Amino acid sequence: MPLLNKNIVLIGMPGSGKTTVGKLLAKEMNLSFIDMDEEIVKNEGRSIAEIFSKEGENYFRQIECMTLQSILKSNEHCILSTGGGVPCFFDNMDFINEHALSIFIDETVAELVARMGQMEVSKRPKLHSDSQNVNDILEELFQKRKPFYERAVISWSSKEGLQNLIEKIKKG
């Protein structure tokens, strides 16, 4: 039986562990898991990097918004891992908080960099720059996104442990 009568949405920076934590939570809580980026790739028939390069960021953000709304309106009791920018566009953060329990996975930029290898960075369009290193790009991105992330109902770091997160979810 689910712990609550709503979906759980994981938000946070690229590399924060949204997918990993989402899968673990789904298993522990006996819920289905949906990775929003995977849904977009499946529906569009191409990678996110391809969508960004051929259609641009605006198109991608519109697709993200429609995918978010579709998933949260048609599923109950699932764990949804979003792309890092989802809460920052349109009214997505308001929509998430209206339709789900939002959880910000709050990891330091140093931790994000340590988790991401070059292969991982190459798959993420927002992390490419000729003039900045990945650490600087992530720090800048984090500062822009932080006000949106902080609107989540729960803030959690992997240092706290999965059982701590489950307890926070039970409290709602």
Q: Are 102 and 152 in contact (CB under 8 A)?
A: yes
Residue 106 lies in a domain: yes
pLDDT at residue number 133: 83
Per DSSP, the residues of the chain read --SSSSEEEEE--TTSSHHHHHHHHHHHHT-EEEEHHHHHHHHHTS-HHHHHHHH-HHHHHHHHHHHHHHHHHH-SSEEEEPPTTGGGSTTHHHHHHHHEEEEEE---HHHHHHH--HHHHHT-GGG--SSS-HHHHHHHHHHHHHHHHTTSSEEE-GGG-HHHHHHHHHH-
pLDDT at residue number 8: 97
pLDDT at residue number 134: 81
pLDDT at residue number 117: 64
Report the predicted TM-score, pTM, of the whole model to 2 decimal places: 0.91
Residue 102 lies in a domain: yes
Domain tally, the chain: 1
Could you tell me the residue range of the domain that residue 54 belongs to?
A: 7-167
Residue 37 lies in a domain: yes
Residue 172 lies in a domain: no
Q: Which has the closest alpha carbon to 83: 39, 134, 137, 113?
A: 39
Residue 52 lies in a domain: yes
- pLDDT tens digit at each of 172 positions of the chain: 445 678 999 999 998 999 999 999 999 999 999 999 999 999 999 999 899 999 999 999 999 999 999 999 997 789 999 999 999 999 999 999 999 999 999 999 989 888 876 546 556 666 665 556 888 889 999 999 999 999 999 999 999 999 999 999 988 7
Residue 30 lies in a domain: yes
The domain that holds 88 is classified in CATH as: 3.40.50.300
